[in-house]
């Protein structure tokens, strides 16, 4: 829920990731970019992540102290990283002659549910932010954190600073939300894996969400859900080159654009399979169990139910969504015993585009590709936006390159001219 507010026009929300604020020099560069944006007449809200690998360092310290640290105390510990970033950035902006003030997630009005380590924002009350914007100040907000309705400090899980930024942009009715990182936009594949990958000028929220859930790291799915609900346009840009356009992520891209958006791979997959079980749990029970174990409420990004012949169900989870993936695997196995098989040694390759699984021509090419690589592909999941292939981890990069070449290089002209 977003509390509607009367707010001034011209608000820009910017988010800077950990690599963008990794040291003092980079914080000063971010400060210059923020001040330049404010100098254009915008009211600016900045969301920051912890510096560099600070969160990983804090997590390692916790593990050295305790083999099983309490999630509440982890939240208290980990949220300190963003508070360091916000205070330093505020100081740097002051040194450039602009007034700034920093707020924690709770001071910013980020209200969450009561789940530690992977909380969800349920309401945004940006009253203090609005007051400071009216006073002409730049507002710096600690990302990745909020406060529960029980007044407990919570963290939002992986990609939580993205979610903070887009949720605030929605609540403030901002003109736009800019997500800055060390990459200059969304590519048709990870350029570190696929050399010929190209940057997209724009992509739809639904396509970006499909890529994110399947493993792409540009923007987290929770943030994209806020963008979908609010209609806020999100700009993925490079901190080092803020003047460049980057990639626009919005509800509807132009109809004349390409049909296929990209391909992504993941080597952090958990496959949960119920096969041939005459007493297979009901769909409702599976949903409640698999999304609530460990109070993490993580949804599978792909699922398949077989209702005829041999009963069965398969669910794909991204392991990076869990604070403790091993705990999730153990809990599922302990609850269902020999009814379930849990595998965490596989990966996925996912092709994403508008309606690709329903397009006859594309479907034919996909079918041929699957036939040619049958010895490498264990299972295929279809959805209107994506085709996901279950493969061995060692084959992920190889198949990502093959799929990209087939659909986005050799045959690019054919597929880009297809009507959307």
Whole-number Cα distances in Å, 45 to 8, 24, 104, 170, 312: 13, 20, 13, 12, 48
β-strand partners of 342:
272
Reported CATH class of domain 265-416: alpha beta
Confidence of residue 278 (pLDDT cuts 50, 70, 90): very low
Provide the whole-model pTM.
0.85
What single-letter DSSP state applies at residue 214?
T
Q: Where are the beta strands (DSSP E) in 320-417?
A: 340-343, 346-353, 377-382, 386-392
Q: Check if CATH label 3.40.630.30 holds for domain 11-182.
A: no
* pLDDT recorded at residue 36: 96
Structure tokens at 243: 């003047």
Structure tokens at 207: 């396509």
Listed by start position, the domains of the chain span 11-182, 265-416
Give the C-alpha separation, 350 to 342, whole Å: 20
User: What does 175-193 look like in DSSP terms, one character per residue?
Assistant: SEEEEEESS-S-BSS-TTT
* pLDDT at 420 > cutoff 70: no
The secondary structure of the chain in percent helix, strand, coil, rounded to multiples of 5, reads 40, 25, 35
Give the C-alpha separation, 10 to 121, whole Å: 24
Does residue 198 sit in helix, strand or coil? coil
Give the C-alpha separation, 151 to 133, whole Å: 25
> Containing H/E element for 121?
strand 121-124
* pLDDT recorded at residue 287: 57
User: What does 103-116 look like in DSSP terms, one character per residue?
Assistant: E-TTTTTEEE-S-S
Q: Where are the beta strands (DSSP E) in 267-376?
A: 269-275, 302-306, 312-318, 340-343, 346-353
Structure tokens at 208: 């970006």
Q: By mean pLDDT, which of 57-66, 102-111, 375-384 is the weakest?
A: 375-384
Provide the CB-side half-sphere exposure for 51 (13 A, CA): 16
Q: By mean pLDDT, which of 22-26, 128-132, 344-348 is the weakest?
A: 344-348
Give the C-alpha separation, 206 to 227, whole Å: 10
pLDDT for 296-344, tens place per residue?
Answer: 456 777 777 665 445 577 888 888 777 778 888 888 888 888 888 888 8
């Amino acid at each position: 829920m977003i509390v509607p507010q009367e707010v001034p026009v011209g608000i820009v929300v910017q988010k800077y990731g950990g690599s963008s604020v990794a040291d003092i020099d980079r914080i000063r560069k971010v400060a210059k970019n923020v001040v330049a944006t404010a100098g254009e007449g915008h009211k600016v809200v900045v969301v920051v992540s912890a510096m560099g690998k600070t969160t990983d360092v804090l997590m390692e310290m916790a593990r050295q102290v305790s083999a099983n640290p309490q999630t509440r105390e982890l939240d208290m510990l980990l949220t300190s990283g963003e508070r360091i970033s916000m205070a330093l950035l505020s100081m740097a902006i002051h040194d450039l002659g602009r007034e700034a003030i920093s707020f924690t997630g709770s001071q910013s009005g980020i209200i969450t549910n009561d789940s530690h380590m992977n909380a969800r924002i349920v309401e945004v009350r940006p009253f203090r932010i609005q007051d400071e914007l009216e006073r002409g100040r730049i507002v710096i907000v600690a990302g990745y954190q909020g406060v529960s309705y029980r007044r407990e400090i919570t963290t939002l899980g992986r990609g939580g600073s993205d979610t903070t930024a887009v949720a605030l942009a929605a609540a403030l009715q901002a003109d736009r939300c800019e997500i800055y990182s060390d990459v200059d936009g969304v590519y048709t594949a990870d350029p570190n894996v696929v050399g010929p990958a190209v940057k997209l000028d724009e992509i739809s929220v639904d396509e970006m969400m499909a890529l994110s859930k399947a493993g792409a790291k540009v923007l987290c799915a929770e943030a994209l859900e806020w963008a979908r609900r609010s209609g806020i346009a999100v700009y993925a840009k490079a901190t080092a080159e803020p003047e460049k356009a980057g990639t626009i992520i919005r509800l509807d891209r132009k109809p004349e654009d390409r049909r296929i958006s990209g391909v992504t791979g993941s080597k952090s997959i958990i496959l949960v399979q119920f096969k041939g079980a005459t007493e297979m749990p009901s769909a409702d029970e599976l949903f409640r169990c698999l999304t609530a174990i460990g109070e993490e409420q993580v949804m599978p990004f792909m699922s398949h139910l077989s209702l005829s012949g041999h009963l069965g169900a398969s669910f794909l989870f991204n392991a990076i969504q869990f604070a403790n993936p091993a705990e999730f695997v153990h809990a599922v196995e302990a609850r269902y015993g020999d009814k379930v098989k849990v595998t965490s040694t596989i990966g996925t390759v996912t092709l994403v585009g508008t309606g690709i699984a329903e397009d006859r021509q594309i479907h034919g090419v996909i079918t041929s590709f699957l036939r040619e690589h049958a010895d490498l592909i264990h299972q295929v999941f279809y959805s209107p936006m994506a085709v996901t292939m279950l493969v061995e981890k060692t084959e992920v990069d190889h198949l990502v390159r093959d799929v990209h070449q087939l659909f986005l290089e050799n045959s690019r002209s054919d597929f880009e001219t297809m009507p959307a």
